[in-house]
Structure 1
């Protein structure tokens, strides 16, 4: 199924860290993100929240949450699944950070996002096999 899921999200100086954590909790309710600070383009501090989920219960919870996304996001995922997966079977998704804070999950192509990397368990670890597994997991 899935080996692990990792995410990262940037918290800019104009944002409230607690609100961004709440947005992350919409996708990963049991996650306790680690933090790193980097220097932004204008020398301002940017906080990065990140974590790696590998417990089966939390992965199943994430899959259940994904089943509840709106139909337009499901349709987008179906049509772009191949483009969102690398050759080693990692599926990359971005969720709108602002909407996640409001409890609404929307897959987006770019912009202010929660970046999610899903490591699909497929043997051999090749894109074609991972695509089959991903289609089965996400019902696409």
Structure 2
């Protein structure tokens, strides 16, 4: 996959008080190149409980290719292709929700826990062009 039609890819997940920080960080690292820096921010929840936010922004083509190579393992990529009109917004951002538990095990699956957001290159910057570029990229993963 030579061309990457994204300006950047953001990954983000939350670690709640009942979860182990190291395991949650390991889950997000499933999608990242080795030694990639993961941002960590701590916050308080509604009831004062600790929440840690892990996030990473990938901007270099090689980094984004790495994430896309992981998405190639999605067992239901066809459903993502069918839903692209709903997964790309008017700002040309493409969204997926990835399963945090599966990622901790090193697997890739749609689910809850990790947010994937990619800013799709589209000229003109219209949703229809972004959907088509995202479609072409995902079809190359199959």
What TM-score, normalized to structure 1? 0.90
Deviation at 1:75, TM superposition (A): 2.3
Mapping for residues 12-31 of structure 1, pairs under 5 Å = 12-30=16-34, 31=36
Match of 1:86 in 2: 89
**Does the alignment pair 1:66 with 2:108?**
no
Alpha-carbon RMSD across the aligned residues, in angstroms, is 1.3
| 1:76 positional shift | 2.0
* Residue 48 of structure 1: how far off its partner (Å): 0.4
- Contact persistence 2:99–2:109 (CA under 8 A): yes
Aligned residues: 135
Give the structure-2-normalised TM-score. 0.89
SS of match in other structure, 1:118:
strand
Query: Which SS does the other structure have where 1:122 is aligned?
Result: coil
8 Å CA contact 2:12, 2:28 repeated in 1: no
Moved over 3 A (4+): none
For 2:12 and 2:49, how far apart are their aligned partners in 1?
Answer: 19
Distance 2:22 2:79 in 1: 29
For structure 2, the residue ranges without an aligned partner over 5 or more in a row are none
Alpha-carbon separation, structure 2, partners of 1:102 and 1:75: 23
How far is 1:29 from its partner? 2.9
Report the CA distance between 1:87 and its aligned residue: 0.5
C-alpha deviations, 1:1-53, integer Å up to 9, x for none? 11100121000111111111111111113432111112112111101011211
Aligned to 1:36: 41
